Amino acid sequence: MTFDEAVEHFENDFEFHVDKYTVVEILEDLRKEYAPTVEMTKEQYHSFKLWKYHTAGWNMTNCAEWARDEKMTATNAMQVWLHPDDIKVVDE
């Protein structure tokens, strides 16, 4: 679902009744699409913090290399670079 689709959904349903569960469901769909949670182990998270805050001249190439070394996708590495709040630290 896109943001435009969400707006259209709200505009169409507000004539009637939109319950909070519908709103939450739409927001969760948007979050999954545009700001998914990226799970990392404690070791990956520590490595990420060192990499992010001590890498001068960050670019997509060194992002992809770091992601490969940490066994994660480059897409997830770029996502957490831009939005570190999307990181969820999990046990191995």
pLDDT tens string 14-43: 655 667 777 788 888 888 888 889 999 999
37 Cβ contact partners less than 8 Å away, ≥ 6 residues apart = 86, 87, 88
HSE at residue 51, side-chain half, CA atoms within 13 A, is 21
Looking only at the bridges linking them, the beta strands covering 87-90 and 38-41 are parallel
The pLDDT-based confidence of 88 (bands split at 50, 70, 90) is very high
CA angle 55, 60, 65 (to 5 degrees): 70
Set out the domains of the chain in order of their start, with CATH numbers: 3-34 (no CATH), 38-90 (1.10.10)
**What's the rounded mean pLDDT across residues 49-77?**
84
HSE at residue 91, side-chain half, CA atoms within 13 A, is 0
